[in-house]
Structure 1
Amino acid sequence: MGLLSIKLFMRRNGILFASAIICITMLVGCTGGPSSYSYYTGVKNPRPKPSTTDKKQSTSTPKSKSSKSSHRNHTYHYVTKGDTLYSIAWQYGYDAREIARWNKVRWPYTIYPKQKLRVKPPAKNKKSAKTPSKRSHKPKTTASKKTSSSSSKKASTSKQKWSKLSWQWPTSGKVIGTFSARDRGKKGLDIAGKKGQPVYSASGGQVVYSGSGLRGYGKLVIIKHNDTFFSAYAHNHRIYVKEQQKVKKGQHIADMGSSEAQRVMLHFEVRRNGKPVDPMRYLPKRR
């Protein structure tokens, strides 16, 4: 019957012929187990989509983990166009002088694109740590006296430098975010305002960075006030100062904006020896 039916179907149109093929393939599928071929075309079925997505997930998740771990354990930074030693130090939370010392970069701290810089303190040498124990007790006492006197002198001179700095508020507006030593995401003050509102230098100094190369800060200005204190002004709409330019306290340096921010505001930071400190400790009280 199977042969006769096929001959009859061959004489007719393609509709009956297709139905015969369907019947035969269904019988083969029942007797021979699962087939890897399509019932209609005879071409191998493509692999199911879940397998491809699983492969993508398996390959993507290790990358994300490795990228996070490498970011946390950053030891080196490759200089890109627009970087300065101060902006790199700001990014990794160190003093620019430390990074310059680790990489033997001399003043005026000129760096070049694709240059490899250490941004993590090198491991201390164990031999150097053992050497002080071999010394006699007498030199230790004299050395301790000298260091204590020198440290007190340094502290007094540093206090004088800090007291000489005169600070003012960088802009007007409501403080919507405050500093927190526990929260790494709260390194300064967030001050709300209007787009185009003037931003002023909080104290006199020299511009060491002006650009938008630091992720999360938008259009940023960093001012060096002395060897100890720096201030930063982020998320600006427009910048009016250039690197190496000297500015005075209260000078108009930028206009407030929302670059890399969810709203118009100024993010203001003060750093002491490369570490974030609470700006409220230095800014005058508002009336």
Structure 2
Amino acid sequence: MIETSNKPFRQRALLALTILVLAGCASTPPAPVQDRSLGSRHSATSGNDRTPHGSYRVRKGDTLYSIAFRNGMDYRDVARANGIGPPYTIYVGQLIRLEEQRAEQRPVAATRPVPSRAPPRPQPSPQPAQKAPAPASPPAAVVVTKPSPAPSRAPEPQRSDSTSDSAIGWRWPAEGQLVARFVSGDQTRQGINIAGKSGDPVRATADGEVVYSGNGLIGYGELIIVKHSSTMLSAYGHNRRRLVQEGDRVKGGQQIAEMGSSSATRDMLHFEIRRNGKPVDPLGFLPKR
């Protein structure tokens, strides 16, 4: 009677032990979760690696002009390096190369040694029977291909443009006291600061086209960039409110923003003028007060 009565008990105990074993097995999945997390970290890292050094991944709100402005480059150089033509349309997620122009400079340097290689070619010409001076004509063809780099000397037209830049009717973009001046080579002093109070009018310094209107450039707050010629841009930062959009044509003296303190410690206008993408002293262009 005792043995028969213990049989159900043993069965229950065996069943309980089986359940415990199964429960222990079921607790093992956390290991794959850790593997997944490691995998996700790896994928995130590889995602960052997809943007090579010297390149930029386009984000919402970017324009070719703002990318060039951010990196102190001429928008035409950025466009050339990436095969982008007017009207310079770019897309979110697009990879923009910023160092391609350096690669373009190497071939130019490489073409200089080529002429030195030309003399060795005439040396084989003295060989008999090979009077086929026909090869002598190819050197002329080679010379013809060398002038092709001449087009890359685009600075020539830029100089002619710079002469017309002097004809731009520059004017002060805001009333107020000059509280900070331009310092060449100082990344924190690439323009001038004009004090004022919130809401004061900010005006276009000259006729031009708005090529950027947004707040995507760190340190500039609400920013507007106006293109005045193929070589000259002006920038207006720390605005409280922007009154123009990209593509708008503006006249010199037209109000384009309200002064503010976005990304600044006080109400003021941060104003820059850039030639060929490089900051220049605005006081060298603005009329004397």
Q: TM-score, normalised by structure 2?
A: 0.66
Contact 2:158 2:231 in 1 (8 A): no
- Structure 2 distance, partners of 1:249, 1:235, is 20
Contact 2:69 2:277 in 1 (8 A): yes
**1:183-202: CA deviation from partner (whole Å, max 9, x where unpaired):** 12100001110000000000
What residue in structure 2 maps to residue 227 of structure 1? Answer: 230
- 4+ residue stretches of structure 1 with deviation over 6 A? 150-154
**1:131-168: CA deviation from partner (whole Å, max 9, x where unpaired):** 243457x98xxx8xx99xx988864x335312220100
Distance 1:89 1:151, change over 3 A: closer
Distance 1:105 1:151, change over 3 A: closer
What residue in structure 1 maps to residue 116 of structure 2? Answer: 133
What residue in structure 1 maps to residue 55 of structure 2? Answer: 76
Distance 1:242 1:122, change over 3 A: same
- Structure 2 distance, partners of 1:216, 1:151, is 31
Task: Find the residue that maps to 1:158 and give its secondary structure.
Answer: helix
What residue in structure 1 maps to residue 219 of structure 2? Answer: 216
Query: How many correspondences in the alignment?
Result: 208
- Structure 2 distance, partners of 1:251, 1:212, is 21
What residue in structure 2 maps to residue 243 of structure 1? Answer: 246
1:191 aligned onto 2:187: no
Q: Structure 1: which 5+ runs fail to align?
A: 1-66
- Structure 2 distance, partners of 1:152, 1:116, is 30
Identity of aligned residues (%): 46
Contact 2:161 2:230 in 1 (8 A): no
Q: State which drifts further: 174-183 or 231-240.
A: 174-183
- Structure 1 distance, partners of 2:93, 2:207, is 33
Q: TM-score, normalised by structure 1?
A: 0.67
CA RMSD of aligned residues (A): 2.8
Task: Find the residue that maps to 2:166 and give its secondary structure.
Answer: helix
What residue in structure 1 maps to residue 183 of structure 2? Answer: 180
Q: Structure 2: which 5+ runs fail to align?
A: 1-47, 120-139
1:85 aligned onto 2:64: yes
1:279 aligned onto 2:278: no
How far off is 1:112 after superposition?
0.4
- Structure 1 distance, partners of 2:269, 2:173, is 9
Letter in 2 for 1:280: L
**1:38-81: CA deviation from partner (whole Å, max 9, x where unpaired):** xxxxxxxxxxxxxxxxxxxxxxxxxxxxx9xxx9x950000000
Contact 1:102 1:122 in 2 (8 A): no
Letter in 2 for 1:82: G
Task: Find the residue that maps to 2:212 and give its secondary structure.
Answer: strand
- Structure 1 distance, partners of 2:110, 2:198, is 57
What residue in structure 2 maps to residue 14 of structure 1? Answer: none
